[in-house]
Amino acid sequence: MAASRYRRFLRLCEEWPMEETKRQRDLGSFLRQRVAQAFREGENTPISDPEACDQMYESLVRIHTNFYKNKYPRLKDTTFTGVTIEDCRIILATDILKQMEDMKKGTWRRLREKFSAKKPEEDLN
């Protein structure tokens, strides 16, 4: 049974899309890492709690297939602020978040980072 569970998770990982705009914060890459950790021995990995494993798989399938989005359709594709899904994707992109983080820094800190040979983390120690 562990072999079939492992194959199901692998198939789910293959189907799950990767979002390049969310480097190191993508649910697809996180899922792949967790499956690799959970099934270190591949098909021969012993599963201590098969029911929890099956429940986790079914939950991930519901997320992947947009089960609840289809079950409870929205009247509009915007939020109460009027922001669309595409706007949210753009705002949550790693590059944009990095730019916003840089904007939050003070002028003195930006200048120090620009002209300093050390990394900012080294200054804190």
> Are 65 and 93 members of one domain?
no
Give the per-residue pLDDT at 124.
Answer: 57
Question: Which of 73, 94, 109 is a domain's end point?
Answer: 73
Same domain, 20 and 80: no
Report yes or no on 124 lying in a domain: no
Closest Cα to residue 12, out of 70, 58, 46?
58
pLDDT per residue over 61-116, tens digit each?
A: 999 999 998 999 888 777 777 777 777 777 777 676 677 666 667 777 767 777 77
Q: How many domains does the chain have?
A: 2
Would residue 27 count as lying in a domain? yes
* Residue span of the structural domain in which 10 resides: 1-73
Q: What is the pLDDT of residue 64?
A: 93
pTM (predicted TM-score): 0.61
| Burial state string for 66-76 with b = 16 or more CB within 10 A and e = fewer than 16 | eeeeeeeeeee
Distance CA 105, CA 83 (A): 26
Q: What mean pLDDT do residues 26-54 have?
A: 88
Residue 33 — φ and ψ, nearest 5°?
-65, -45
Residues 89 and 49 in one domain: no
